[in-house]
Structure 1
Amino acid sequence: MRISMRKERDPEPKLKVRSTSAKPGLYITFALSGELDSGSVSVLCNETSTAMAAGSRHVMLDLSRVTRCDNASLYTILGIRHALQHAGGSLTLTAPTVVVRDAVEGSGLGVLLTFTDQLEELSPLLEALEQLD
């Protein structure tokens, strides 16, 4: 019997969260790609917590590359929105995929989780946030 001592590679993360723009202490945009579900949403929570600890109170999530979305992740996003609002901030959801839209509609959370379809629509919001600084 032969025992392999090779270390197995960690699997690719199911969800990638990448900061695409930020004004430290004010806002940050995260681009999400991959599977947004109960097994991966903690990555988003950690990134958001780090951004809030650094002073960002307004968070935008670019959902244009999300391939899977479940109810657990949607309720977690509601919790993130609540935490940001409690801190005087906001959460904006942008460019959702059909998968995300279907999950929101199926969960009945459409009234609580609304979308901005195009990132370009956010320019006035970003300008207004920068004026607050």
Structure 2
Amino acid sequence: MTDFRLTAQHADGDLAVAHVSGDLDFDTAPHARSQALALIEQGHRHLLLDLEAVTFCDSSGLNALIGIYRCAKEAGGSVTLAAAPDRL
């Protein structure tokens, strides 16, 4: 397993841009979800997630992304996935 990180690169107003790196799997998905939801709770209801450095993603990771999307939508926001690797 590689180190997982979700780092907000820019957070201003409604928008947050976050860089996601490492494995997004059963072990790291809850952490990813809680970090993204914290950004939404801080008022950044539109998230742009840069997935370029994601090295692995299983069904737990995909489920976390769907959960993040649903929470953003409930807050009147959106989730945009950028630079997603072909395997994702």
> 1:36-70 CA deviation, whole Å, 9 max, x = no partner?
11110122112112112211110111000010010
Gaps of 5+ in 1: 1-11, 101-133
Q: Secondary structure at the match of 1:33?
A: strand
Alignment of 1:85-124 (within 5 A): 85-100=73-88
Gaps of 5+ in 2: none
Q: Tell me the distance in 2 between the aligned counterparts of 1:57 and 1:22.
A: 10
Q: Could you say which structure has the greater relative contact order, defined with CA pairs below 8 angstroms and 6 or more residues apart?
A: 2
Contact (CA 8 Å) 2:32, 2:64: kept in 1 or not?
Answer: no
**2:40 aligned residue:** 52
Q: Indicate the percent of aligned positions where both proteins have the same amino acid.
A: 30
Higher strand share: 2
Contact (CA 8 Å) 1:15, 1:41: kept in 2 or not?
Answer: no
Q: Tell me the distance in 2 between the aligned counterparts of 1:39 and 1:45.
A: 12
**1:40 aligned residue:** 28
Higher helix share: 1
**2:5 aligned residue:** 16
Runs (4+) of structure 1 moved beyond 2 Å? none
> 1:4-33 CA deviation, whole Å, 9 max, x = no partner?
xxxxxxxx963111111121x311011011
Q: Tell me the distance in 2 between the aligned counterparts of 1:20 and 1:70.
A: 24
Q: How many residues align?
A: 88
> 1:70-90 CA deviation, whole Å, 9 max, x = no partner?
011101211110111111000
Q: CA RMSD in A?
A: 1.6
After TM superposition, the score normalised by the length of structure 1 is 0.61
